[in-house]
Amino acid sequence: MQLVISTKEGKAYSKKVEDAGLNGKKIGEEISLEKFGLQGYSAKITGGSDKQGFPMRHDLPGTQRKKIMAAEGIGFRASVKGQKKRVSVRGNTVSDEIAQLNLAVTKQGTVPLEQFAEKTAKTEDASAKDRLVKESLENVGNVELAGDAHKTKGKVRK
């Protein structure tokens, strides 16, 4: 399960945990984060989504996924005023089917959240096409052309 912990400053930290032990908890409940290594922290469950990407909805009891007629709220955004649509959403109770759980910090602890979160290495600001061209040229062995791959536009003609 992926935990996304948001702070009052607007920053969010992500951590993957194997056994969260949060089954049966509902949206709006406050939990202690000490079992995840955050001493002194407590957080409120604000939402989440299941393994297929369907969002949890606070006003739908249970753990199952249901199709509801929605005019507004989580899981549906109307494009026309008064529009209604049947959408699939997950209930408000945490189960094994939940892949991501959103938490909002209510009580700060001693350890900063930056140490808890996984640091992901940022890739270059190059597009996917430029990266593929550079990798293919490096595989061929022509490293001089690989450095100029980001300047190439369109097809190269001889």
The pTM of the whole model exceeds 0.75: no
23 closest CA partner among 42, 1, 43, 38: 1
> In this structure, are 102 and 126 located in the same domain?
no
Domain of residue 152, residue span: 122-158
- Could you read off the pLDDT tens digit of each residue along the chain, which spans 158 residues? 899 999 888 889 888 888 778 999 999 999 998 888 888 999 999 999 999 999 999 999 999 999 999 999 888 999 999 999 999 999 999 999 999 999 999 999 888 888 776 554 445 566 788 888 888 877 776 655 555 655 666 665 55
> In this structure, are 28 and 106 located in the same domain?
yes
d(CA 56, CA 52): 12
> In this structure, are 75 and 21 located in the same domain?
yes
> In this structure, are 19 and 73 located in the same domain?
yes
Number of domains in the chain: 2
Please check whether residue 15 is in contact with residue 3, taking contact to mean a CB–CB distance below 8 angstroms.
yes
d(CA 130, CA 150): 6
> In this structure, are 23 and 59 located in the same domain?
yes
Tokens of 105: 């910090």
Please check whether residue 44 is in contact with residue 104, taking contact to mean a CB–CB distance below 8 angstroms.
yes
